[in-house]
Amino acid sequence: MRILAASDLHGSTKGVSRLLEYVYRYDADLITLSGDITHFGLGDHVDRIFEPVPVEILAVSGNCDPLDVSHALGTSSKITPLNGNIVKRTGWHFCGYSYQDMAIQDILPIVPKEKTILLTHVPPRGILDKTATGNAGDGNINRWVDEFAPALVLTGHIHEARGMERHKNTVFVNPGPIRDGMAAVVDVDESCIRDVVFL
């Protein structure tokens, strides 16, 4: 399965154009969006923005997505919301934790301990979370990752922390803001993360 991982669209039409370009160029099976789909925009714009996208989008909301947007994700024909949900695609469990949710342990108390991919807007503390003023990650996510050991964690939020890190058996990826044309192609096979390429 080929995932086009993106985050931090902030309502950018240029960013949507890049998503379309990358989906076709890299033959992606699905898109993941790790929050900040809008920049304090309206929920009724969500379906319209993604109308031309030909593949499923799995998404969580971010701190720039008002509750109106979070609710719109649940009614969108283009987006499968992962805020506190688990879906299975090609043998992999995708689960999500949005910015507005309670502690991740309350939202996702039990998930499969194999072939799991977590989408979260905010990164774990100390992993792809460095800003000019220090670490900005969420320690609750670290504890959850330690317990459930997902194969892959896709984050966003910290635009300047684009990159990939591996801790224990988990690969962490911040694809960078798609509004600036940044994304990542993640290839997974039946049992592992095979490759990550930054765009």
Residue 15 in this model has a pLDDT that exceeds 90: yes
The arithmetic mean of pLDDT across residues 105-116, rounded, is: 80
Query: How many other CB atoms are found less than 10 A from the CB of residue 24?
Result: 11
Torsion sign across C-alpha atoms 31, 122, 155, 183: positive
Mean pLDDT to the nearest integer, 99-111: 71
Q: Mean pLDDT over residues 96-118, rounded?
A: 79
Enumerate the domain spans of the chain: 2-198
Question: What's the CA angle centered on 128, arms 171 and 91, to 5 degrees?
Answer: 30
* pTM assigned to the model: 0.93
- List, for residues 20-63, the tens digit of each pLDDT value: 999 999 999 999 999 898 888 777 777 788 888 999 999 998 88
The one-letter amino acid at 151:
A
pLDDT tens digits for range 148-163: 999 999 999 999 999 9
**CATH architecture for residues 2-198:** 4-Layer Sandwich (3.60)
Q: Are 155 and 172 in contact (CB under 8 A)?
A: yes
